[in-house]
Amino acid sequence: MKRRLVLLGPPGSGKGTQGELLSADLGIPTVSTGALFRDQMARGTALGVEAQTYIAQGHLVPDRVTNAMVQSRLGSADAVQGFILDGYPRNVPQVGVLEEILATQGLAIEGAVSLELPEDLIVGRLLKRASIEGRADDTEPVIRERLAVYHRETEPIIDVYRSRGLLLPVDGLGTVSEVADRIRRVLEIVA
């Protein structure tokens, strides 16, 4: 069973939602860089204050901040048996850093689940979430910028994982449970 996983996909494609379900299935933690940043921002730490400037504009937080945070989180005891990375890596240099972090322990990513969803649905989902949760980066201009950053910085990762034979594309359309079942099938958790 694959237990060191990356969840890829544009903003609002369901990475966080599906990561939690997969975490429960596999008994391993989800490591969401977005959630880690939001926690730091809520606590007003120096890292949170720095991250907030970038997140509010829909830009990526600088790699030196993000990579150090991920390295520290993956070193925690609960990640020893595996983890699901949600929102990291998010650019090609982060793919290399992740490889180096894992290689020091003789480990490697075993699968990259890529959620695919049309852009008009993405914007609708995130605007709906804005009306419920009020996440600061869920305004339409910032969502558009996050999508532009996704296409420019993050999408090239898909080809990197494809070329390594690790890419597992999943249709992100449908209900949460329909998508979860597709993920379980590509990961061979169910037949």
Q: Applying CB under 6 A, what is the total number of residues that bind ligand AP5?
A: 30
Whether 4 is a known active-site residue: answer no
The Cα–Cα gap between 112 and 4 comes to: 9
Whether 182 is a known active-site residue: answer no
Neighbours of 186 (CB within 10 A): 15
Is residue 182 close enough to count as binding ligand AP5 by CB under 6 A? no
Q: Are 29 and 79 in contact (CB under 8 A)?
A: yes
Q: Which stretch binds ligand AP5 (CB under 6 A): 58-66, 76-84, 103-111, 183-191?
A: 58-66
Q: What x/- string results for residues 149 through 168 when contact with ligand AP5 is judged by CB under 6 A? A: --------------------
Q: Which stretch binds ligand AP5 (CB under 6 A): 41-49, 52-60, 158-166, 182-190?
A: 52-60
Q: Are 121 and 13 in contact (CB under 8 A)?
A: no
Q: In the structure, how many helices (H) and strands (E) does the chain have?
A: 9, 5
Is residue 88 close enough to count as binding ligand AP5 by CB under 6 A? yes
Of residues 7-46, which lie at the interface with ligand AP5 (CB under 6 A)?
A: 9, 11-17, 33-34, 37
- Using alpha carbons, select from 175, 176, 187 the residue that is nearest to residue 17: 176
**Catalytic residue from among 15, 38, 73, 125:** 15
**Catalytic residue from among 135, 144, 162, 184:** 135
**Choice between 90 and 111, CB closer to ligand AP5:** 90
Whether 38 is a known active-site residue: answer no
- Using alpha carbons, select from 27, 31, 18 the residue that is nearest to residue 183: 18
Contacts of 82 (CB under 8 A, 6+ apart): 3, 4, 5, 26, 28
CA 97 to chain centroid: 15
Judged by CB under 6 A, which of 3, 23, 25, 54 binds ligand AP5?
54
Q: How buried is residue 103: exposed, middle or buried, by Cβ count under 10 Å (0-12/13-18/19+)? A: exposed
Residues in contact with ligand AP5 by CB under 6 A are 9, 11-17, 33-34, 37, 54-55, 58-61, 66, 87-88, 90, 94, 125-126, 129, 137, 146, 175-176, 179
Mind telling me the catalytic residues? 15, 90, 129, 135, 146
